Amino acid sequence: MNKDEILLKAESYIKDEKNQFFRDQVKDLVEKKDYEELNERFYKELDFGTGGLRGEIGGGLNRMNSFTVAKATQGLASYIVKNVKKEDRIAVVAYDSRNFSDTFSEEAALVLAANGIKTYLFTSLRPTPVLSFAVRQMKAVSGIMVTASHNPAKYNGYKVFWNDGAQVTPPHDSGIITEVRAVTDKIGKISKEDAIAEGLLVLIDKEVDEPYEKMVVSQTLRPELVKAKGRELKIVYTPLHGAGNIPVNNALKKMGISVFTVPEQAEPDGDFPTVAFPNPEITEAMELSLKYGKKEKADLIMGTDPDSDRLGIAVPDNGEFKLISGNQLGALLADYIFRTRKEIGTLPSNGAFVNTIVTSDLQIKIARAYGLATFKVLTGFKFIGLKIKEFEENHSHTYIFGGEESYGFLVGTAVRDKDAVSAATMTAEMALWNVTQGRSVLDHLNEIYEKHGYFEEALISNYFEGQQGAAIMDKLMSDLRNTPPEMLGGLKISEIIDYKNSTTKYCDSGEVKKNIELPSSNVLQFILEEGSLVTVRPSGTEPKIKFYASCCEAPGMDLEKAKFGTASKIKAIEKQVNELVASAAV
């Protein structure tokens, strides 16, 4: 954009933005004539994607602020009014600990109320799974969760849910996007006082908290064991300044399990002062809990992200603590849940396990060994929620457990998004069961490897900020799609699956078949000659591109040899991936 176009958009935004903090930010940039920063904030509007909004907090059309939240919510409200009967127009809004989350949630709730949609708003922060649960509990048609999940402090966003408690999927996602893009200057607004007086805004807490907590505790598979031995298990837990502290602690304590919460990270704080990335997937975020784990001689360390939908853990390993990957924790939980339910006679003959196309196939092997049907879906937990809905509508399968590699798990169907609270209680029970068996969680994991083969995964992420970064990611995906390499990490590529075109290319013959039944998605998957798998996709929520590598060795191989072999493959794949990324960025 030229300077005149930038200024025109900035002046229009200043007029429309009612929040003084964000309005003054843009005014200041205009006065300073900072056209480079203004261009970043106005070269496009913050995109309302298939799941909602996410972006940096700040003034401007390409930022998360009160105006962009109000505009997006007006689009959602318009969609509801056009497609839902008046008596069913009910919504729930919740928020986590991020900066301005409370402001944005109230803004969204009042826009919904102004459109005649009865809206339940939580009085304080809540985890994402509580919002998912609340949508069904309150018989709502939609829900909004104000959060940017595990992103750095400068981000916020919101996720949109539909009446099944899952994030929106077709046709609602595209329908909502159309309405959001059609919003111009007519955004509904009502005061909080008037909305409450008219019964259009209702503040809630225990109406949802109590049944949700009861549901979490009721999922215990070995209640007698937990009641008898629970206090012997020592857990160190960190909510990473997020929304998990109260629900996780309440659930574990009701089960009779001892919890030490990291004091420096117990209080909600959107600046996340002790971590750069509030993400339990990464070692740096768990450093304080690892320190306390050693001091307290813990049996288990757990961490949840700001909206408490992701769970990361660490377990004792020869006097130190070893972080367990999302793929490994998924395997451990799958084996424990299926094994236990089989032992106690509650594993249904039509049981189903669901994970995503970038999640370890080790979990698929475990599920099949227990006789479960298995399903792969696109990345994004909403697709697991959609699969559960299909099972229920078709009366075909009973969902038991599912998850994704990025530390997202769902036990049961009361929630339709990943639930770190339920995952935390089930993980604690799994760890307790292992301890009472006279072995460690790592012993349990090694038993799984010996039975099903050794698997190792790696995630290679590269950030590309701003307008230029988006262009680099587009170029990289185009290059990989049009002129793919013949080998990755020294291993020949045998098949290339293109989820955007729904095709599989068989490299030896050159044959291309349209045989992928999943929805179109900008994802490429390279199957290597000996069974390893490399998947590449631009993130839907962050300015980065992700490469997922999964390598394995057959059952029966010495574990140390298997670990060495897979590590060598991973290292070679990482090297080539970094070279490909570097060449695209030139």
In the block, tokens 């994607």 appear at 49
End-to-end CA distance of the chain: 23
**323 CA to centre of own chain:** 19
Residues 52 and 149: their CA atoms lie apart, in Å, by 12
Q: How many helices (H) and strands (E) does the chain have?
A: 19, 23
Q: Report whether 321 contacts 292 (CB < 8 A).
A: no
Q: Which strands make up the sheet holding 300-304, listed edge to edge? A: 258-261, 234-238, 300-304, 311-317, 320-324
Q: CA separation (Å) from 85 to 116, 141, 191?
A: 12, 10, 24
- Catalytic choice (149, 360, 406, 532): 149
> Is residue 550 among the annotated active site residues?
no
CA distances from 201 to 119, 156, 524, 525 (A): 5, 23, 45, 46
Query: Per-residue DSSP letters for 175-216?
Result: HHHHHHHH--S------HHHHHHTTSEEEESHHHHHHHHHHH
The whole-angstrom separation of Cα 53 and Cα 536 is 23
Give the tokens for residue 171.
């046709």
104 Cβ contact partners less than 8 Å away, ≥ 6 residues apart: 64, 66, 69, 95, 146, 156, 158
Question: What are the DSSP E strand ranges found in 372-515?
Answer: 373-377, 398-404, 408-411, 454-463, 487-488, 491-498, 503-506, 511-513
3-state helix, strand, coil in the chain (%, to 5): 45, 25, 35
Active site amino acids = 149
